[in-house]
Amino acid sequence: MTVVGWLQILVILAAVVAFAMPLGAFMSKVFRGERNVLTPMLGPVERSFHRLAGIDPGKEQSWLGYTLAMLAFNAAGFLFLYLLLRGQGLLPLNPQGFAGLSPDLAFNTAVSFVTNTNWQAYGGETTMSHLSQMAGLTVQNFLSAATGIALAVALVRAFARSGAQTVGNFFTDVIRATLYVLLPLAVVTGLAQVAMGTPQTLEASATVQTLEGDEQTLALGPVASQIAIKQIGTNGGGFFNVNAAHPYENPSPLSNALTIWQMLVVSVALVFAFGRLIGDKRQAVAILSVMALLLIAGIGVAYWAEAAGTPILASAGLDPAGGNMEGKEVRFGLAASAMFAAVTTGLSDGAVNSMHGSFTPLGGMVPMVLIMLGEILPGGVGAGLYGMLLIAIITVFVAGLMVGRTPEYLGKKIEAKEMKMAILAILILPAAILGFSALSAVLPSALSGLGNAGPHGLSEIYYAYSSATGNNGSAFGGLSANSPWWNTTLGLAMLLGRFAYIVPMMAIAGSLVAKTKLAPSAGTFPTHGPLFAGLLAGIIVILGGLQFFPALALGPIAEQVQMLGGKTF
Amino acid sequence: MLSQLRATATLLALFTLLLGLAYPLAMTAIAGVAFPDQASGSLVTRGGVAVGSTLIGQSFTGADYLQPRLSAAGDGYDASASSGTNLAPTSARLAERLRTDGRAMKATTGAALLPADAITTSGSGLDPHVSPAFAELQVPRIAQARGLTPQEVRRVISQNTAGRTLGLLGEPRVLVLGVNLGLDALASNSAAN
């Protein structure tokens, strides 16, 4: 580890916070329906979308109506994308003449993009037509992100309102999130990415004559427009197979910093918007400090582990001071690769700029653990905030047990119903990850997809189901996941991780919004101080540890110990 | 219920038009005017022929060229099939390959310690750079193959070396294609003289 490496990490994080504060203020205006700087330009578009779709923005929905609208909208998006992928061979904008996708791969991919996961069981440049990338994948990159933001805003409204019945209008929230937040950020940063070298063309490829006289075919396409929203919307699905490690997706250290900034900025801004919408900015600071603390700890462990290198590199004669460069790009080096790995999983992004499967066991465990902790550091756009608020509810409950009082959070009493729903949501993660992993570990048709033997093979299984259930999308890429078993079960894990989590979360929102907001009394446990922040961080780590430590002991921890003992598989 | 379905279907259609067609096509149009070189892949031409991209690595095997890192993309530097090895840190296959390549490189260069990127595979399989240390390791071989002095080779390398961006971001790196174009230019200049 170097001082410059750490400075780079901290400067990028500071740049995120510096922009997220005003963006959060802007977003709180957008979701209150107030006039903002973009209203003169985008107001007419917003109104015409409402008019054409027959939506009255003033007509709000109950939690159930909001949830059903969300489910219908996502189901329609899934169906459209599935059919588009199946039929891409018959459709225009397909210069390479790619055939339609197989049913299981089309199912997996459609679920993957609708749930904001962007797990890719295919290589983009060898599978997807331009039409599929643009009208299919890019559209869901926006809409799955807008769905997440809308849901988080609905939950925040439930805390902010007192004795109300409705949590907002889903369609209005999605329209506003897309038009005012996601689209402008994607346009501006996407053009910046083109300036830095990312292609944006309808040509499929360019052929060049290399200096040694060979032909090299360079895959091209409308790359920048897709990868800008892939990062802004914490989707993570790359245009190319190797995602942000590809020099066209991520040409330079500067574009790498921009890419990390893109994936963090909306999620962090949402926390600031939360503070404004509930009228207590200190609550946002408390939550944000926990996110920052744990994320930086994750970056630190990954950076340290990668800088330490591995015995097989050292015994081959590589300079130990250079760390583990297998699967990493020279222009990024160790610090920017470790930071990217931790950020992409602290979020639910899933883009990668280095191959996580070739990390040292402990270095690779960091992204896996960050997904298992629920991707709330700071988490995907929207999903991170509502995930963190559920953990906060559990935290005040635990604190309430210790002192024997009915817990409150943000002035709302947390009672049996909220706790049941919160636990139901939280349990989805271990149930899906460990359940599917257990099945795959004994099924020959599943095991044939593994790319590495020994404990690393088990880690590939854990990582795949963690990534799918957490709607992350990154992978230990040794796994060949494009087979019916993996496509189907990972698709199911994505659906569970997204929607089986959202429904109980929205039930909590429905229950909370009807409650009267209580004024803090002398007996109220303040949730803006360091005591609460410490407790919250503790609950996050302890919950994750209790659920996943035995599994991790058999995977990455066992691998680390055996690696240090000089064993290979 | 019906109004919900209408809203869903209409919005999906509107968003597909706006985000799936208007947005990428507008971006393509703007990028083509504002940044035509980058938008079409940052190609490098020599004598009117496209010989590569400044961003994408290509294969070099000749002793007279600066050689890039190992690549797992297709058969090596296949820029239509990017890939890493995804081999584990405990992979016997990776260990075996590293041992063989490490022994060979130490034998040809006489170096006791190899730079971290010298025999490892990049993430994309298309890494256009090598570290300054790995470039330096190849200087004697290139100089000998081309009949140049090591200083002349080093000068070309340093012209194609970038430091950390803003002194902070990323790592120092040498652009392999740039060096090799420079070496060829040097050769054709001296031939012309």
Q: Which of B14, B78, B88 lies closest to A478 in CB terms?
A: B88
Tens-place pLDDT, residues A17-69: 999 999 999 999 999 999 999 999 999 999 999 999 999 998 999 999 999 99
Both tokens assigned to A114: 């609708």
Residue B69: phi and psi, rounded to 5, are -75, 170
Instruction: Kindly indicate the confidence band of residue A189, based on its pLDDT and cuts at 50, 70 and 90.
Output: very high
Give yes or no: residues B9 and B66 share one domain. no
Q: Which residues of B touch A325 (CB under 8 A)?
A: 116-117, 120
Give yes or no: residues B151 and B95 share one domain. yes
Tell me how close the Cα of B150 comes to any Cα of chain A, in angstroms: 22
Beta-carbon count within 10 A of A89 CB: 12
Chain A nearest-CA residue for B99:
A316
d(CA A22, CA A25) in angstroms, rounded, equals 5
The answer to whether A382 touches A148, Cβ cutoff 8 Å, is yes
Return the amino acid letter for A539: I
Predicted local distance difference test score (pLDDT) of residue A232: 97
Give yes or no: residues B158 and B83 share one domain. yes
Chain A nearest-CA residue for B14:
A49
Predicted local distance difference test score (pLDDT) of residue A522: 85
**Residue count of chain B:** 193
d(CA A420, CA A448) in angstroms, rounded, equals 39
Give yes or no: residues B96 and B152 share one domain. yes
Give yes or no: residues B160 and B75 share one domain. yes
Both tokens assigned to A417: 């119903």
When the pLDDT of each residue in chain B is averaged and rounded to a whole number, the result is 96
CA distances (Å), A569 to each of A50, A451, B70, B92, B97, in order? Answer: 59, 11, 22, 5, 14
Give yes or no: residues B102 and B164 share one domain. yes
Predicted local distance difference test score (pLDDT) of residue B159: 98
Q: Which residues of B touch A142 (CB under 8 A)?
A: 15, 19
DSSP, res A309 = -
Q: Is the dihedral of CA A401, A402, A406, A410 positive or negative?
A: negative
Whether pLDDT at A78 is above 90? yes
Beta-carbon count within 10 A of B147 CB: 10
Are B90 and A245 an interchain contact pair (Cβ–Cβ within 8 Å)? Answer: no
Q: What are the 10-residue block averages of pLDDT along chain B, 193 residues in total?
A: 88 97 97 97 96 97 97 94 95 97 95 96 97 98 97 98 96 98 92 73
Q: Which of A134, A209, A242 lies closest to B21 in CB terms?
A: A134
When the pLDDT of each residue in chain A is averaged and rounded to a whole number, the result is 96
Share of chain A above pLDDT 70, in %: 100
Beta-carbon count within 10 A of A99 CB: 12
Are B16 and A139 an interchain contact pair (Cβ–Cβ within 8 Å)? Answer: yes
Beta-bridge mates of residue B174: B130, B161
Tens-place pLDDT, residues A275-330: 999 999 999 999 999 999 999 999 999 999 999 999 999 999 999 999 999 999 99
Give yes or no: residues B11 and B75 share one domain. no
Whether pLDDT at A500 is above 70? yes
DSSP string over A401-435: HHHTS--EETTEE--HHHHHHHHHHHHHHHHHHHH
Provide the 3-class DSSP secondary structure of residue A54: coil
- Unique residue bearing structure tokens 């949830």: A67
**Domain count across chain B:** 2
Predicted local distance difference test score (pLDDT) of residue A548: 96
Q: Which residues of A touch B161 (CB under 8 A)?
A: none
- Unique residue bearing structure tokens 């919004």: A513
Are B122 and A245 an interchain contact pair (Cβ–Cβ within 8 Å)? Answer: yes
State how far Cα A118 lies from the chain centre.
9
Residue A328: phi and psi, rounded to 5, are -120, 155
Q: List, in order, residues 6 or more apart from B178 with CB less than 8 Å away.
A: B54, B159, B160
Give yes or no: residues B35 and B54 share one domain. no
**Residue count of chain A:** 569
Tell me how close the Cα of A204 comes to any Cα of chain B, in angstroms: 10
Instruction: Kindly indicate the confidence band of residue A524, based on its pLDDT and cuts at 50, 70 and 90.
Output: confident
Structural domain for B30, as ranges: 1-40
Both tokens assigned to A389: 């608020």
Instruction: Kindly indicate the confidence band of residue A457, based on its pLDDT and cuts at 50, 70 and 90.
Output: very high
Both tokens assigned to B129: 């750079």
Give yes or no: residues B47 and B36 share one domain. no
Predicted local distance difference test score (pLDDT) of residue A475: 94
Give yes or no: residues B182 and B136 share one domain. yes
CA distances (Å), A319 to each of A312, A341, B87, B131, in order? Answer: 12, 23, 20, 13
Predicted local distance difference test score (pLDDT) of residue B59: 97
The pTM of the full predicted model, rounded to 2 decimals, is: 0.96
Instruction: Kindly indicate the confidence band of residue A123, based on its pLDDT and cuts at 50, 70 and 90.
Output: confident
Give yes or no: residues B67 and B132 share one domain. yes
Q: Which of B15, B92, B121 lies closest to A326 in CB terms?
A: B121
Helices (H), A197-238: 223-232
Whether pLDDT at A121 is above 70? yes
Predicted local distance difference test score (pLDDT) of residue B193: 67
Instruction: Kindly indicate the confidence band of residue A371, based on its pLDDT and cuts at 50, 70 and 90.
Output: very high
Chain B nearest-CA residue for A458:
B88
Give yes or no: residues B19 and B61 share one domain. no
Q: Which of B16, B43, B98 lies closest to A208 in CB terms?
A: B43
Tell me how close the Cα of B190 comes to any Cα of chain A, in angstroms: 19
B149-175 per-residue burial string, b: 16 or more CB within 10 A, e: under 16 = eeebbbebbeebbbebbeeebbbebbb
Nearest CA to B24 out of A194, A37, A48, A244 is that of: A194
Tell me how close the Cα of B111 comes to any Cα of chain A, in angstroms: 9
Predicted local distance difference test score (pLDDT) of residue A406: 87
Predicted local distance difference test score (pLDDT) of residue A125: 83
DSSP string over chain B: -HHHHHHHHHHHHHHIIIIIIIHHHHHHHHHHHH-HHHHTT-EEEETTEEEEETTB-----STTS----B--STTTT-TTS-------TT-HHHHHHHHHHHHHHHHHH--SSB-TTSSSBPSSS---EE-HHHHHHHHHHHHHHHT--HHHHHHHHHHTEE--BTTTBS--EEEHHHHHHHHHHHHHHHHH-
- The ipTM, to two decimals, is 0.96
Q: List, in order, residues 6 or more apart from A566 with CB less than 8 Å away.
A: A311
Chain A nearest-CA residue for B128:
A247
The answer to whether A6 touches A335, Cβ cutoff 8 Å, is yes
